[in-house]
Amino acid sequence: MRLRNIILAASVPLLMLLAAINGALLYFQSKAEMLRGIDNRALAAAVTAAEFLSSIDHASPVDVASERRDALAAAARHVDGLDGYYLVDGAGNIVALAPATRRWVPGRDQPPSGRRVTPLMRDPDGRRYVAAQARLASGGFVAARIDAEPMFQQLDALLRRILVGVAFAAMIGIVAGWYVAGRIRKELAASRAIIDAIDGGLPLPDTDALRIAEAADLAAALRLLDAGRNAAISALDQSLAREDEGRDEASAFASLRRAHVPPIDTALAGAAIAVRFCGNVTPGSFAALCHSGDKAALVIGECSATTPIDALAMALSARRFLENGWWDMPERPICDIVRSAFNVTRMAHMTWSAETRPGKLVLTCLADDATASAAETYIAATPDGSPRAALDRIAALLKPDGVFALIGPAD
Among left, alpha and beta (phi > 0; psi -120 to 50; other), residue 274 is beta
Beta bridge partners of 265: 274
Residue 276, strand partner residues: 404
- What value does the mean pLDDT take over residues 281-299? 92
Looking at residue 407, what is its pLDDT? Answer: 93
pLDDT digits (tens, 9 = 90+) for 79-126: 888 888 888 877 777 777 777 778 777 776 666 667 888 888 888 778
285-293: average pLDDT: 92
- Residue 304 confidence class, pLDDT cut points 50, 70, 90: very high
Nearest CA to 155 out of 41, 40, 35, 42 is that of 35
Over its C-alpha atoms, the chain yields an Rg (Å, rounded) of 41
The proportion of the chain whose per-residue pLDDT surpasses 70, expressed as a percent, equals 82
HEC string of 337-362? HHHHHCCEEEEEEEEEECCCCCCCCE
Least confident of 60-74, 257-271, 272-286: 60-74
Which strand (E) or helix (H) includes residue 408? strand 402-409
DSSP string, 44-73: HHHHHHHHHHHTS--S-HHHHHHHHHHHHH
Separation CA 194–CA 199 (nearest Å): 9
Q: What is the pLDDT, as a whole number, of residue 7?
A: 75
Confidence class for position 301, pLDDT limits 50, 70, 90: very high
Whole-number pLDDT of residue 59: 45
Q: Reduced to 3 states, what is the DSSP secondary structure of residue 143?
A: strand
Third-level CATH fold of 253-409: Phosphatase 2c; domain 1 (3.60.40)
Average pLDDT of the segment spanning 385-400: 90
pLDDT of residue 66: 56
Question: What is d(CA 129, CA 149) in angstroms, rounded to the nearest whole number?
Answer: 7
How large is the average pLDDT for residues 282-310?
93
Residue 48 has what pLDDT? 81
pLDDT at 225: 52
Residue 207 confidence (pLDDT) above 60 = no
pTM of the model: 0.43
- Examine the pLDDT at 264 and tell me if it is beyond 80: yes
* pLDDT for res 309: 92
pLDDT of residue 198: 58
pLDDT of 247 strictly over 60: yes
pLDDT confidence bin for 303, thresholds 50/70/90: very high
User: What is the C-alpha to C-alpha distance for residues 343 and 289, in angstroms, rounded to an integer?
Assistant: 19
What angle do the packed helices 149-200 and 213-246 form, to 10 degrees? 70
Q: What is the pLDDT of the chain when averaged over all its residues?
A: 82
Determine the pLDDT at residue 251.
75
34 with 204: CB under 8 angstroms? Answer: no
Quick one: pLDDT at residue 141?
Answer: 85
Split at pLDDT 50, 70, 90, the class of 306 is: very high
- Please check the confidence at residue 262 and state whether its pLDDT lies above 70: yes
CA distance 51 to 134: 9
Q: Which of 109-113, 180-184, 197-201 has the lowest mean pLDDT?
A: 197-201
**In the CATH scheme, what architecture does the domain 3-152 have?**
2-Layer Sandwich (3.30)
Has residue 67 got a pLDDT over 60?
no
Looking at the predicted structure, is the pLDDT value of residue 216 above 70?
no
Nearest to 129 by CA among 96, 156, 109, 100: 100
More confident residue, 233 or 20: 20
Lowest mean pLDDT among 23-37, 138-152, 193-207, 363-377: 193-207
CA pair distance 369, 284, nearest whole angstrom: 20
